[in-house]
């Protein structure tokens, strides 16, 4: 069954008709950013390395915990390491679009995409900074995948993950400040 979602484009502009696939062999930019920390994550858990103020390492600890829990307990959900982050509605996409711009992140477009694959919608507040406590990271990861309450006491900010086959079917909005 095909579904329609909205994607806020931040890496590089997308084209109408562009196709992509995310699966166990084709990963996303999150995977590419954290894969270099695989050995360091093991060393942190063995107490042979410290996190210090390394934000990328904290993200790697989080993402590896999220992936471990997903594989064992929620195997039908898309992997955060092999999926596209999308929104279910244009209104949700606009929230992310404006947030990214306010953070100074290059934000090119909002595109409508057609997806043939799996999806999962969770609360972005339930993502977390990884720590050197693996059990705590796994506990927080379970809360994310279970859509448990967020620790900030705020209304959920939804993020949807999709995998499978995708196609851009409409360029909904383009940032006039960024040229293709």
Residue 180 lies in a domain: no
Residue 34 lies in a domain: yes
Of residues 137 and 1, more confidently modeled = 137
Radius of gyration of the chain (CA): 17
Residue 54 lies in a domain: yes
The DSSP symbol for 76 reads: T
* CATH number for the domain that contains residue 97: 3.20.170.10
CA proximity to 60, closest of 74, 88, 39: 39
Residue 171 has pLDDT above 60, yes or no: yes
SS3 166: strand
Q: How many domains does the chain have?
A: 1
162 vs 120: CA distance, rounded Å: 7
Residue 46 lies in a domain: yes
- At 146-157, the pLDDT tens digits run 999 998 988 899
Residue 129 lies in a domain: yes
157 vs 106: CA distance, rounded Å: 21
110 vs 4: CA distance, rounded Å: 13
Residue 18 lies in a domain: yes
Q: What is the average pLDDT score of the chain?
A: 95
Range of the domain at 111: 2-174
Average pLDDT value for residue range 37-64: 95
Residue 50 lies in a domain: yes
- At 78-133, the pLDDT tens digits run 999 999 999 999 999 999 999 999 999 999 999 999 999 999 999 999 999 999 99
* Percent of the chain residues topping a pLDDT of 70: 99
Residue 179 lies in a domain: no
Task: Give me the pLDDT at residue 180, please.
Answer: 55
Strand order in the sheet with 158-162: 84-86, 158-162, 119-123
């Amino acid at each position: 069954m095909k579904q329609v979602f909205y994607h806020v484009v931040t890496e590089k502009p997308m084209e109408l008709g562009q196709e992509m696939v995310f699966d166990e062999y084709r990963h996303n930019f999150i995977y590419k950013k954290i894969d270099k920390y695989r050995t360091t994550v093991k060393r942190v858990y063995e107490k042979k390395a410290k996190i210090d103020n390394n934000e990328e390492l904290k993200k790697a600890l989080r993402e590896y915990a999220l992936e471990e829990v997903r594989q064992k307990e929620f195997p039908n959900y898309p992997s955060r390491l092999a999926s596209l982050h999308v929104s279910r509605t244009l209104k949700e996409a606009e929230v992310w679009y404006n947030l990214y711009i306010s953070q100074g992140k290059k934000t090119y477009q909002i595109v409508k995409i057609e997806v043939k694959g799996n999806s999962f919608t969770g609360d972005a507040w339930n993502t977390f900074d990884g720590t050197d406590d693996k059990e705590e990271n796994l506990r927080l990861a379970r809360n994310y995948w279970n859509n448990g309450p967020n620790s900030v006491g705020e209304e959920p900010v939804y993020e949807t993950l999709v995998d499978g086959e995708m196609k851009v079917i409409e360029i909904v909005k383009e940032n006039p400040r960024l040229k293709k």
